[in-house]
Copies of this chain bind each other. A is one copy, B any other.
Amino acid sequence: MGLTKTEMFTDVQNEIALFAKVFGHPARVAILEHLFKINTCVCGDLVSEIGLAQPTISQHLKELKQLGLIKGNVEGTSVCYCIHTENWTKMKEVMLKFLDQDLQNTSCC
């Protein structure tokens, strides 16, 4: 099928899955890390930085933008990308709540 049955899960569970999914590809991880490292807008050099073809990078950027994790400002013929700080923080809260669950008992069979 390849089709996720989202209707049987909570909104939060689906939200976590959506965020996680976008981090589920090393190219998108690399793009985000680069944007954090550069610490300002990146205009254009992502293709040479990452090493995949331009349409492929463009596609990954689209997914990151669709989830609101990055912003893209048109700057002449190029586009400048940077982290969408507010949304990143919101995402982080959701993901941390999930990751930071901890077991009180470690009573396993």
**Residues on A facing B (Cβ under 8 Å):** 4-6, 8-10, 13-14, 16-18, 20-30, 32-33, 36, 39-41, 43, 50-52, 71, 73, 75, 80, 82-83, 85, 91-92, 95-96, 98-109
Contacts and interface: CB of A to CB of B under 8 A. Distances in A.
B103 A73 contact: no
A100 B92 contact: yes
Contacts of A28: 17
B85 A106 contact: yes
A22 B99 CA distance: 13
A87 to B, nearest CB: 13
B21 A20 contact: yes
A106 B86 CA distance: 11
